[in-house]
Chain A
């Protein structure tokens, strides 16, 4: 099991964000977490990359347990995870190439390997011609593809996408979802949080539903998924 959550509860101050979360994600799955704004989707993803620790319960990601992981081990965990955000979070003073290369540079990867991997990934994302551009010179769709490339460049075992289509028009959104499905087909586990699960075609993933911090109807969505 790649991700396991047992009896997880998370609150921000007095406000509960997630409660009684029991969940498992297997290697190679495409998991869609849906729910309204404020339902706790982002909090759930933050628990996976351990941006937050649960108040109670245990989160286990690829052998890193939330109750045991030390601060110095967090970077090791995060190198196994790629993260894509709704607002892209690109460094605006750096080129497309430098943004994508960042996860490799922070691990001390040699320059030749960085060049090779980034150039090949940009080609796969259809961004070769934009490698020297700065983020503000790109369209929303291009920026999100750069963010996905950055998330994928270090070959993560799991890709977390937090409302990756939230700032994009429907046509570009479809392209981004298709890109995520393609990444999943290549073997990477993908967890996508979205307020609109219809973006992912039925049968292409496992659907979970968050309602006010509680994971509901997971079985139903799973059944629906497998029925289809």
Chain B
């Protein structure tokens, strides 16, 4: 029990010593995290834009004119049971006319010219599961849906979809690649900063060794310090990024990153700080 008390005392003494050097280390860690957090905010917003674009990818299925509303809904049910189909919305001829008039007010006279008996065809608006969206899969679904009795045509934007999907995929891959590079860089920066701050106190480690301190007793204060610096530094980086985000919010509409990402950033700080401290103390222990 006394040894644990002594260890706690060492932790406290360690955290209270050299406040200047610790502040410099914290600033280094926080600055490294600002770069990372800025990247995360950009990626998060980019992700939102890409998700919205992908959600717009859908299919419009036109039904034959003689199809009743009940038959149309039955076809809709059939399509919604197909794999990778997220939702199906039935658009009646009346609703289609209303939508036409609302979307193209300058062309409403076209409908008037067609006479009162004219009805736009009923249709089904289909939304796919985002993860299922690919040129090949949508093309296949288009063929299957087109073959259903009562379906006149299935249209899904063949002209723009390949380009859009390619762009989204490329951007996603770039973001992941950049993310890996940044996570590696920031881990190294925090690791070496914390390790250096531990190595600077090699005299303490030397003395502890010569007086017969157990290895864990020597390491624990440094590990706690590593966690402290990693967590505080990453939290500081988050706070500075949040301020920056607030300042820029009037100029650029964007969202701050979600709570799960914030937790991961702090966790990354804790892990890299701990590993850096362990490496520093281990190096001096040998």
Q: Which of B103-111, B202-210, B263-271 is the interface stretch?
A: B202-210
Chain B residues near A154 (CB-CB < 8 A): 211-212
Q: Which of B2-10, B76-84, B174-182 is the interface stretch?
A: B2-10
With an 8 A cutoff between CB atoms, is A108 at the interface? yes
Q: Using CB atoms and an 8 Å cutoff, list the residues of chain A in contact with chain B.
A: 49, 51, 71-72, 74-79, 81, 83, 89, 91, 93-94, 102-103, 105-111, 150, 154
Contact B206 A150 (CB under 8 A): no
How far is B11's CA from A144's CA once the two chains are assembled, in angstroms?
27
Given known contacts A75-B213, A93-B18, is B208 in contact with A111 (CB within 8 Å)?
no
Contact B213 A91 (CB under 8 A): no
Chain B 167-219 interface residues, beta-carbon cutoff 8 Å to A: 203-204, 206-215, 217
Listed by A's residue number, 24 A-B pairs whose Cβ atoms lie within 8 Å are A49-B210, A51-B209, A51-B210, A71-B215, A72-B214, A75-B213, A78-B210, A78-B211, A79-B212, A81-B212, A89-B203, A89-B206, A89-B210, A91-B203, A91-B204, A93-B17, A106-B6, A106-B217, A108-B1, A108-B2, A108-B3, A108-B4, A150-B211, A154-B211
How far is B211's CA from A107's CA once the two chains are assembled, in angstroms?
9
Given known contacts A89-B203, A91-B207, is B212 in contact with A109 (CB within 8 Å)?
no
Contact B17 A106 (CB under 8 A): no
Contact B13 A94 (CB under 8 A): yes
Chain A residues near B204 (CB-CB < 8 A): 91
B72 to chain A, nearest CB (A): 78
How far is B5's CA from A91's CA once the two chains are assembled, in angstroms?
19
Chain B 111-160 interface residues, beta-carbon cutoff 8 Å to A: none
A110 to chain B, nearest CB (A): 5
A45 to chain B, nearest CB (A): 11
Contact A105 B17 (CB under 8 A): no
Contact B3 A102 (CB under 8 A): no
Query: Which of A72, A75, A102 is in CB contact (< 8 Å) with B207?
Result: A102
Chain B residues near A81 (CB-CB < 8 A): 212
Given known contacts A89-B206, A93-B18, is B211 in contact with A103 (CB within 8 Å)?
yes
Chain B residues near A150 (CB-CB < 8 A): 211
Chain B residues near A111 (CB-CB < 8 A): 2
Q: Which residue of B lies closest to A109 (CB)?
A: B2
Chain B residues near A110 (CB-CB < 8 A): 2
Contact B210 A108 (CB under 8 A): no
How far is B206's CA from A106's CA once the two chains are assembled, in angstroms?
13
Q: Among A76, A79, A107, A110, which residue has the most Cβ atoms of chain B within 10 A?
A: A107
The 10 closest A-B pairs by CB, nearest first: A108-B3, A79-B212, A78-B212, A106-B213, A103-B211, A108-B2, A105-B6, A75-B212, A93-B17, A83-B210
Chain A residues near B4 (CB-CB < 8 A): 108
Chain B residues near A106 (CB-CB < 8 A): 3, 6, 208, 211-214, 217
Query: Which of B6, B13, B209, B211 is in CB contact (< 8 Å) with A93?
Result: B13
How far is B211's CA from A92's CA once the two chains are assembled, in angstroms?
16
Contact B6 A108 (CB under 8 A): yes
B133 to chain A, nearest CB (A): 57
Chain A residues near B206 (CB-CB < 8 A): 89
Contact B211 A72 (CB under 8 A): no
How far is B2's CA from A164's CA once the two chains are assembled, in angstroms?
32
How far is B95's CA from A143's CA once the two chains are assembled, in angstroms?
94
Chain A residues near B207 (CB-CB < 8 A): 89, 91, 102
How far is B196's CA from A166's CA once the two chains are assembled, in angstroms?
30
Chain B 41-68 interface residues, beta-carbon cutoff 8 Å to A: none
Q: Which residue of A lies closest to B208 (CB)?
A: A106
- Known interface pairs A78-B210, A78-B212; 18 further A-B residue pairs with C-beta atoms within 8 A, sorted by A's residue number: A71-B215, A75-B212, A75-B213, A76-B212, A77-B212, A79-B211, A79-B212, A89-B206, A89-B210, A91-B204, A93-B13, A105-B10, A106-B211, A106-B213, A106-B214, A106-B217, A108-B3, A108-B4
Contact B209 A107 (CB under 8 A): no
A143 to chain B, nearest CB (A): 14
Chain B residues near A77 (CB-CB < 8 A): 212
How far is B212's CA from A83's CA once the two chains are assembled, in angstroms?
11
Contact A102 B211 (CB under 8 A): yes
